[in-house]
Chain A
Amino acid sequence: MTLLTCENLTLGYEGRPVVENLHFTVQAGEYLCIVGENGSGKTTLMKTILGLQAPISGKVTTSGGLSRREIGYLPQQTVAQRDFPASVMEVALSGCLNKNGWRPFYTKAQKKRADQALDRLGIASISRKCYRELSGGQQQRVLLARALCAADKLLLLDEPAAGLDPTITEELYRLIASLNRDGMTVMMISHDMQAAVQFATRILHIARRPLFWGPTQEYLDSDIGRLYALKEAAR
């Protein structure tokens, strides 16, 4: 079942294209990893899929009954959030908002879902703590818990491991893989080539234009895949 289709997408800012002629689909249950150099348009692509930014041309369509209210999103952290007075629970719960309709307050079931998300990420014990006083790794997990509260079918992650130490990064990737095994469709932007090929079922490699889109194994056997892997390993 196809959840998402991108057709002839050209993306960019103020009419200047960053990526051109993107064409790919996302099937239910897939784990798609988007790789590419800095500034190759990975985040722009994700923002366009989320409707935060309009494409220069082409279109993104959802299908298989996927609605915006079933998508979870883990953005790259912004500076403005860092001094915001908010408890961990308040942040996680705000992920549930997309299913509220006109209801002003959260239900017991939604609170339970937030509790479970925090529990799954191992941060249930700090649910009353202040978000801005947490370490970078803990903050990242709180934002992931919020994304889990929002995601019913599709989870979009923009550099989930940015700024985390290796142990926590490993844990985070395992967790995302386990979510994927439980049926969640995952789209992840990552610099981490090793994680990408270890966990993802498909790879999309972009650099101004799509260089590769296909199963992970094929990517590893392709010239572009080998070259990129070498480059990343040398860093």
Chain B
Amino acid sequence: MSQMMTTLGFYFQYPFVRYALIVGVAVALCASLLGVVLVLKRFSYIGDGLSHIAFGAIALATALRIANQMVLVLPVTILFAVLLLRGGQRMKIKGDAALAMLSVSSLAIGYMLLNAFPATANISGGVCTTLFGSTSILTLSRGEVWLSLGLSLTVVIIFIALYHRIFSVTFDEDFATATGTRAQAYNMLIAVVIATVVALAMNLVGSLLIAALLIFPALSAMRVFRSFKGVTLCSAVVSVICALTGILVSILAGTPVGATIVIANLACFLMFTLFGLVVRRRIAA
């Protein structure tokens, strides 16, 4: 135990490790809040598609040698989120196929760009980092840290301020519209915020694992809690704890950060599922 503490103390001397922890937790918190909406609105696949689009955008930023990649990744992801959610309402099934097409195309073009305009000699290493986020959270500059924290804070504030409206629009869009809530405007806003979270989470877990960060905490919370408030709060707590655990374990054991966080989330989901079953059986008995 004391050995572990010493190791952690050693690593936390470095500012980039502290940054990684702070940004990781902030991003995980945002992802869990929006994840509840995503799961309940049956939009999980949009989170996944957007993360592939973000991969393409990062590849483009790398090819163009843009230092602060967020400047390109954020607007591109937001643009596609708005386009997808707008189309999604009109053509539910067609939209699904269109999204699959868009996300694989984005992956392919992104990989092509990284190969054609390599930023480092180690191409596959770079691609791996973008897909699985293995080290990118440790290489954040001070500016990127502040940008990430600022965006996370904005997402949390928007979520709290619009909490009741988000509930109403998610629970019953027709009722919300019929009684004077501009549901379409809120859907758009949710799309923009989700895109922001996806762009942020690229650094933490990488493109392929973002969907897990979004939906796992919400799904875990839904196994046990039965109210929107309960699910939202539980999801936030679960996500923060899993991110903390994941980052600390990855430092101690030298495992990849993103994968460790996602596996922590998976373990948590299995635990909550078991707990939910036991509780329900007890109520039934």
Using a CB–CB cutoff of 8 Å, the interface residues on chain A facing chain B are 47, 50-52, 67-69, 71-73, 75, 78, 80-81, 84-87, 90-91, 93-95, 97-98, 100, 104-106, 128-130, 132-133, 146, 150, 156
Bound CA span A52–B176, Å: 10
* B231, A85: Cβ atoms closer than 8 Å: yes
Could you say which residues of chain B place their CB within 8 Å of the CB of A91? Answer: 171
Given the contacts A50-B178, A68-B179, A98-B181, A130 and B227 also touching, CB distance less than 8 Å = yes
* A104, B164: Cβ atoms closer than 8 Å: yes
Bound CA span A133–B174, Å: 22
Using a CB–CB cutoff of 8 Å, the interface residues on chain B facing chain A are 40, 42, 160-165, 167-168, 170-172, 174-181, 222, 225-231
* A81, B172: Cβ atoms closer than 8 Å: yes
* A90, B229: Cβ atoms closer than 8 Å: yes
Residue among A91, A97, A98 having the largest count of chain B Cβ atoms under 10 Å: A97
- A98 partner, pick from B161, B172, B179, beta carbons under 8 A: B179
Given the contacts A52-B177, A68-B180, A104-B163, A85 and B168 also touching, CB distance less than 8 Å = no
Bound CA span A120–B223, Å: 32
Given the contacts A97-B165, A100-B164, A104-B163, A87 and B180 also touching, CB distance less than 8 Å = no
* B179, A69: Cβ atoms closer than 8 Å: yes
In the complex formed, the residue of A with least CB distance to B227 is A87
Residue among B161, B176, B178 having the largest count of chain A Cβ atoms under 10 Å: B178
Q: Is the interface of A mostly helix, strand, loop or mixed?
A: mixed
* A94, B226: Cβ atoms closer than 8 Å: no
Bound CA span A42–B272, Å: 45
Could you say which residues of chain B place their CB within 8 Å of the CB of A81? Answer: 171-172
Given the contacts A85-B222, A104-B162, A104-B164, A97 and B229 also touching, CB distance less than 8 Å = no
Given contacts A94-B172, A95-B175, 17 further A-B contacts (CB under 8 A): A52-B174, A68-B180, A73-B179, A80-B42, A84-B228, A85-B227, A85-B228, A85-B230, A86-B171, A86-B227, A94-B168, A98-B180, A104-B160, A104-B161, A132-B226, A133-B226, A150-B175
* B178, A51: Cβ atoms closer than 8 Å: yes
Closest Cβ–Cβ distance, residue A109 to chain B (whole Å): 15
Closest Cβ–Cβ distance, residue A73 to chain B (whole Å): 5
In the complex formed, the residue of A with least CB distance to B226 is A130
A-B contact pairs, 7 of them (CB 8 A): A52-B174, A52-B177, A84-B171, A86-B171, A94-B164, A97-B179, A150-B179
- B167 partner, pick from A67, A73, A94, A132, beta carbons under 8 A: A94
